[in-house]
């Protein structure tokens, strides 16, 4: 296996075990079954949320009660106030069937994995932290090493580090059971048999809100998991078609989807007489921000490459390591931008929408005259 930029001072442990699979066959099978089920649950769950993108706390909640929070997206139900002037197609029927079926496949797959992991010692050997790592100080040191992008030791090629072990334990024994529990708490049939499943959570709407929040946490874990897998597998002698082109293809799709939406959002509140000014501000902000971001990424890549070179890395390894850290910085900026957009953007008030509609109608009348 080719050497990566994260291991420049020691030989990797992979070479010592050629042809040996890292995970047992059942772990790999249940992993991919869980992946397929989770993706099906995400797609169907998104369609279900679109029908009512408002969340409440307690037993009841509807459009006439205050929402704990809402997602700023249009709905597939005309009776749900979202601030948008159109309604999405209603896909609530098939999505609920798919959600139900995928959930039970996921439950059975997870039960099989947990039973096998307990009987085979998989959890004890591969996921439970070592005795010397079960302390706040050990976790703090491991977290600092990750945040500093410190190079891993050779043993990390064949075992999970402390942060990985704790993350997997949290997902397997906390987040997944909680998302299953909150899902069952929304089922009238299950709640009629076991009422305590929903009363402990504070009501069906509380269960729905917790279900959504836990799902967001699982999606965040999935994104980090996939990014780190891709991150770790990028070798120094990478192939463009295999290692680089797929990510650039995804970036191109994302940019093509994002830019028109961002421009349309920025221009949506501008009066016709201010359209030119608004367009100029959008383009200027994009160009200046892109220039600053590129300059920061270049500085980070150069600094990291120089650090690796001083540590004894060859030129190709140092270049790859610098690029990896720069791209990680860019990913952090994207997450920050999403957080800012989520915080700043709000649904327009009813009186503001009415004022804009009146102004637009006046402009149309003036143009017709």
The string of pLDDT tens digits covering residues 284-329 is: 887 888 888 888 888 988 988 888 888 888 887 888 788 888 888 8
* 31-71 per-position pLDDT tens digit: 999 999 999 999 999 999 999 999 999 988 888 889 998 88
Q: Tell me the mean pLDDT in the region 113-126.
A: 91
Cα–Cα dist 360/358, whole Å? 5
CA of residue 306 relative to chain centroid, distance: 32
Collapsing DSSP to helix, strand or coil, 252 comes out as: helix
Nearest-CA neighbor of 2 among 14, 10, 16?
14
Does 76 score more than 60 pLDDT?
yes
Does 368 score more than 60 pLDDT?
no
Percent of the chain residues past pLDDT 70, beyond the cut: 77
Report whether 163 contacts 142 (CB < 8 A): yes
Cα–Cα dist 33/249, whole Å? 26
Buried b (16+ CB within 10 A) or exposed e, 68-106: eebbeebbbbeebebeeeeeeeebeeebeebbeebbeeb
Of the pLDDT bands very low, low, confident and very high (cuts 50, 70, 90), residue 335 is confident
Name 324's Cβ contacts closer than 8 Å, sequence gap at least 6.
5, 6, 149, 231, 234, 304
In this structure, of 10-19, 169-178, 204-213, the range with the lowest mean pLDDT score is 10-19
Report whether 98 contacts 106 (CB < 8 A): no
CA distances from 57 to 69, 81, 172, 176, 209 (A): 10, 18, 26, 21, 7
Does 111 score more than 90 pLDDT?
yes
* 225-272 per-position pLDDT tens digit: 877 777 666 666 777 787 777 777 766 776 666 676 667 666 666 777
Count CB neighbours of 215 within 10 A: 21
Provide the mean pLDDT of the chain: 79
Of the pLDDT bands very low, low, confident and very high (cuts 50, 70, 90), residue 97 is very high
Lookup result for tokens 């891709």: 230
In the chain, domain spans: 242-369
Count CB neighbours of 169 within 10 A: 14
pLDDT of residue 203: 92
The predicted model scores a pTM of 0.65
Cα–Cα dist 113/28, whole Å? 10
N- to C-terminal Cα distance for the chain?
A: 74
């Amino acid at each position: 296996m080719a050497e990566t930029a994260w291991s420049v001072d020691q030989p990797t442990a992979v070479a010592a075990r050629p042809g040996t699979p890292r995970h047992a066959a059942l772990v790999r099978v249940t992993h991919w079954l869980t992946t397929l089920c989770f993706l099906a649950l995400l797609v169907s769950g998104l369609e279900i949320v679109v029908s009512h993108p408002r969340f409440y706390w307690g037993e009841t909640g509807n459009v006439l009660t205050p929402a704990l929070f809402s997602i700023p997206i249009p709905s597939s139900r005309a009776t749900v106030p979202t601030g948008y002037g159109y309604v999405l197609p209603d896909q609530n029927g098939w999505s609920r069937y798919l959600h139900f079926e995928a959930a039970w496949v996921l439950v059975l797959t997870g039960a099989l994995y947990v039973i096998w992991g307990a009987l085979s010692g998989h959890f004890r050997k591969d996921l439970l932290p070592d005795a010397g790592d079960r302390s706040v100080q050990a976790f703090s040191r491991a977290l600092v090493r990750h945040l500093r992008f410190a190079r891993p030791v050779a043993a990390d090629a064949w075992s999970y580090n402390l942060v990985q072990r704790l993350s997997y334990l949290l997902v397997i024994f906390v987040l997944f059971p909680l998302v299953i529990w909150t899902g069952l708490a929304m089922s009238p049939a299950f709640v009629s048999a076991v009422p305590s499943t929903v009363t402990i959570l504070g009501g069906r709407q509380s269960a729905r809100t917790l279900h959504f929040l836990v799902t967001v946490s699982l999606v965040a874990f999935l994104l980090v998991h996939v990014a780190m897998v891709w991150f770790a597998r990028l070798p120094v002698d990478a192939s463009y078609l295999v290692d680089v082109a797929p990510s650039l293809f995804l970036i191109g799709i994302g940019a093509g989807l994002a830019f028109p939406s961002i421009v349309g959002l920025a221009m949506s509140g501008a009066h016709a007489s201010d359209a030119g000014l608004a367009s100029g501000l959008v383009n200027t902000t994009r160009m200046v921000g892109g220039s600053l971001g590129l300059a920061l990424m270049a500085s980070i890549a150069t600094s990291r490459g120089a650090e690796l070179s001083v540590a004894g890395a060859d030129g190709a390894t140092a270049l790859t390591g610098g690029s990896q850290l720069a791209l990680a910085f860019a990913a952090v900026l994207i997450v920050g931008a999403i957080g800012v957009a989520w915080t700043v953007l709000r649904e327009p008030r009813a009186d503001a929408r009415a004022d804009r509609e009146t102004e637009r109608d006046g402009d149309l009348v003036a143009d017709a005259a």
